[in-house]
Amino acid sequence: MTKTDFGLHSQLLSRDTAERVLAAALQRGGDFAEIFAEDRRSCAATYDDSKIEELTSGRSRGAGIRVISGDATGFAHTADLSESGLLTAAITAADATRGTSSGTKVAALSPQNIANPSTPLILPETVEKARKVEMLARVDAAARSVDNHISQVACRYGDNRRTFVVANSRGIYGGDDQVKSSFSVTCVAVGDGGMQTGRESIGHTVGFEIFERYDVEELARQAARRAVTKLKARPAPSGTMPVVIGKGGGGVLFHEACGHGLEADHIAKNASVFTGRIGELVASPLVTLIDDGTMPDEWGCYAIDDEGNPARHNVLIQDGVLVDYMWDHLRAEQQGRDSSGNGRRQSYQHLPMVRMTNTYIANGDANPNDIIADTPEGVYVAQLGGGQVNPATGDFVFGMTEAYIIRNGELAEPLREGNLIGNGPEVLQNIDALGNDFAMGSPGTCGKDGQGVPVGDGTPTLRVTALTVGGTAN
């Protein structure tokens, strides 16, 4: 772990400048003022049809300024990080609240020295683009070598470095330097079973050393083998039945179907099935659900959130009992409590809101092989795809991208892609077995109100007593 580099951050927004800009914002009548200054750079390469399809890089710098006066919020952003540019944005944001002078003062800014849970060893911007492209070419060749049924391979490399400083009138002055690297490969196989796909992806809050930790050529071969195996798949069954979800594979379901309903802004709007249920049994006693921004190297980790609050390990459901929600500054202050470190924003051009980080179900104590053996008939889902969720009700539909029939307690033939249909809170209550093989799933981008942020999710192997499988088999 590394401490905050205030030399780097002060170049983006010095403490003296921040104090003057915050004071100017409050002179217009604000109760609270905040500056979020950000410098972001990225690189991406796409290799498709055995050639480089796209190679891009970009950089953006700017600041967003928020002023709150009573129930009104004013916000302005600018790409001009000079003091005069920041002052103009501060006055624009303050005027939008139409406040009158409240006499609120800026607290002395105190630098925060918070350890970052991840330390990049090789900054991606120091690696030549030719090396990144050459790696994708090797991945393409490895995937195609698996089977002559592989007709298409598409792979992608990405890296992102995000440095920011946040300062507010409560005295916070802190920053973070987040480096993320990712890779994905999708293979298409064509045969008598039609066209089938297989996919693998990795992503961590680390540098280019991620490619020393993972054999990306083997990941490509795994994706190709998955696509070829699915050529022999039978149609998925239809009906309600036991469903076993493999380690890591079901995290996205609980992120979408349960996690959003535990964000405090949904609670405040009474738009969640979990509103007013603190202290109630809302899940199987086997279930402990956690959101943890401090998990080292995971896709959703950071030192501080986008409001300057330290990332935290937040237990949301403990042994089936709802114990807390996720909070940002605004919702927490309304309730007279501390933020849980879940205030996040897509960029300096966006307001922060309550968002998840790394959301997961903690380990159980069952052997995952025993869970399958104790399931006479059902479906085993190794990997879920995208889906749709209503956060107010928890109703969801998710695609199964890799699944198998369970017959007589054993995995049988693979299934063609079908859907899982159910209700998040009901799924939580109907978990009757939880494995001891916890794993995080694939990296993701969570969309909410037009903003996307990187998130992680995970589960051990688990069994749901009854879920509706939407397949095409009679």
Q: Give residue-wise pLDDT tens across range 33-92.
A: 999 999 999 999 999 989 999 999 999 999 999 999 988 999 999 999 999 999 999 999
Q: Give residue-wise pLDDT tens across range 236-293.
A: 999 999 999 999 988 888 898 899 999 999 999 999 999 999 999 999 999 999 999 9
For 93-107, b where at least 16 C-beta lie within 10 A, e where not — what string? Answer: bbebbebeeeebebe
Please list, in sequence order, all residues whose beta carbon lies within 8 angstroms of the beta carbon of residue 367, skipping any fewer than 6 positions away. Answer: 435, 436
The span from the CA of 94 to the CA of 65, in Å, is: 9
Which burial class, exposed, middle or buried, applies to 192 when counting CB atoms under 10 A from its CB (0-12, 13-18, 19+)?
exposed
In this prediction, the residues of the chain whose per-residue pLDDT falls under 50 are: 1-4, 6
What pLDDT is stored for residue 115 in this prediction?
Answer: 84
C-alpha 41, offset from chain centre? 19
Cβ neighbours of 454 (radius 10 Å)? 25
The span from the CA of 203 to the CA of 187, in Å, is: 18
3-state helix, strand, coil in the chain (%, to 5): 25, 40, 35
Angle between helices 216-230 and 129-144 (to 10 degrees): 30
What pLDDT is stored for residue 355 in this prediction?
Answer: 98
CA dihedral 279, 344, 15, 119 (to 10 degrees): 100
What pLDDT is stored for residue 6 in this prediction?
Answer: 45
CATH architecture of 6-230: 2-Layer Sandwich (3.30)
- Sequence-ordered alpha helix ranges (H) in 231-301: 251-254, 264-268
User: Which string of DSSP letters, residue by residue, matches 127-174?
Assistant: S-HHHHHHHHHHHHHHHHTS-TTEEEEEEEEEEEEEEEEEEETTSEEE
Q: Give residue-wise pLDDT tens across range 186-205.
A: 999 999 878 999 999 999 99
**Could you tell me if 295 and 314 are in contact, meaning their C-beta atoms sit under 8 angstroms apart?**
no
- Which two tokens mark 422? 């159910």
Q: What residues does each domain of the chain span?
A: 6-230, 239-470
What pLDDT is stored for residue 116 in this prediction?
Answer: 87
Helices (H) and strands (E) in the chain, counts: 11, 23
**Could you tell me if 458 and 298 are in contact, meaning their C-beta atoms sit under 8 angstroms apart?**
no
Please list, in sequence order, all residues whose beta carbon lies within 8 angstroms of the beta carbon of residue 434, skipping any fewer than 6 positions away. Answer: 286, 287, 361, 363, 364, 365, 366, 460, 461, 462
